[in-house]
Amino acid sequence: MKKAAIVGVLLAVGAMGLAAQTSARPGRKIHADTQTQGVPAMPRFRFENFTTANGLPDDHVFAVLVDGDRVWAGTNNGLAEYENGQWKTYTTADGLAHRAVLSLALDKRTGDVWAGTMGGLSRISAGRIDSYTQLNSGLSNDVVYGVSIEGENVWVATAAGACRLNTRTGEWSLYNERNTPMTEIWAYGVSAAPDKVYYAIWGSGLLEFNQKTGVWDKYDDPDGENEIVLLKDQGLIHEIVTSVSYVDGVVWAATYFGASHYDGRYWHNFLTKDSGLPSNFINFIKGVDRNRAWFCTDKGLAYYDGTNWAVYRPALDIGKPEMMVRDAQARVTQIPVETAPAHNYVLGIDFQGRDLWVATAKGLSHGVYQP
């Protein structure tokens, strides 16, 4: 299939993700009763949802970032800050590079917040906003899909390759098809650590940068098949990687065709047909540790504890809050709940202690942990 056709199919699939669909999949036995004896104990939450009705500047939330007692939300109409029960919005009038904020990262050393937007990269520092664009800096492209902080370096994923800003020297380094193994330059996500940096590349797999040697490596889908998975657990599940999370020496990678886990030696892939994923269309992934991760899909929020799965969402057919738990024997049990995230189309997640903050296409959700 030609690239243009693939992108067209993906855009169509993404649009369909916003439509209601049947919640149960063929071949999965769902226990509709409320008996939970013998069901794996998975985390439960009481979700509080925020929209424009209570202070959010826009209901479409691309990204969320927890900063101690503060929470930042990157929306389609500004950057929102939530503190002490109050919302404050930063816009282009305040210096924000663009009103649509796609990604967020926190510099824990300085407390600065970095926001990737549709029109550049912005740094929010003690209320002041400085923005970097192609015209005034070495930024690869003004469309910034991902940003990650590692030491004094800001690693950036853009629509025209990757780049790195050294905040101490002000020096920019550019990475693209000329000096890395990427063949496509649409960098969709980044996760940086002192030893390695990983980039999710749309159509070009997963890129790894070794900080010690300065060498780039690339992980591809071994079967080279764009439409189906032929070789499961043999490597990266698909070339179109949308998000990456590197934690405890393990890589979690999300695609629009499933997810992958790589421990440096072995790959393990996840598909709806053999896991608890509610959809193979994954917008964002965030690892907790070597075994646990959260998956933001177009059909709900999913959690994997290394053995069992839980899905949190409004039911796809009637919108009623639901939680489903799938055990190692593929038995799925409905757990009675009264609340759910604001929408099925989930775009981001961050943690505040044991609580969750979830970015969706129809609002921001605070999942208050229920012991």
For residue 131, list its beta bridge partners: 122
pLDDT of residue 227: 62
Q: What is the mean pLDDT of residues 326-335?
A: 97
Where residue 365 falls among pLDDT bands split at 50, 70, 90? very high
Whether residue 46 has pLDDT greater than 50: yes
pLDDT at 13 over 60: no
Q: How far is C-alpha 315 from the chain's CA centre?
A: 21
Beta bridge partners of 120: 117
Contacts of 34 (CB under 8 A, 6+ apart): 334, 336
Check whether 237 has a pLDDT greater than 60: yes
Does residue 16 carry a pLDDT above 50?
A: no
The C-alpha angle with vertex 93 and arms to 90 and 94, in degrees rounded to 5, equals 50
pLDDT value of position 36: 62
Average pLDDT over residues 278-287: 98
What percentage of the chain reaches a pLDDT higher than 70?
Answer: 89
What are the structural domain ranges in the chain?
3-370
In this model, does residue 33 exceed pLDDT 60? no
DSSP-based three-state secondary structure for 213? coil
- Note the pLDDT of residue 230: 72
Tokens of 212: 């010690």
Lowest mean pLDDT among 147-151, 231-235, 280-284, 323-327: 231-235
* Strand, helix or coil for residue 249: coil
Percent of the chain with pLDDT over 90: 86
Tens-place pLDDT, residues 221-231 = 987 766 666 77
3-state secondary structure of 256: strand
Work out the mean pLDDT of the chain and round it to a whole number.
Answer: 91
What confidence tier does 21 reach under pLDDT thresholds 50, 70, 90?
very low
pTM of the model as a whole: 0.90
What superfamily would CATH give domain 3-370?
Answer: YVTN repeat-like/Quinoprotein amine dehydrogenase (2.130.10.10)
- End-to-end CA gap in the chain: 49
- Summarize pLDDT for 148-167 with one digit per residue, the tens: 999 999 999 999 999 999 99
Q: What is the pLDDT of residue 226?
A: 65
**Which segments of the chain does DSSP mark as H helices, in order?**
3-16
In contact, 62 and 72? CB cutoff 8 Å: no
The count of other CB atoms within 10 Å of the CB of residue 153 is: 19
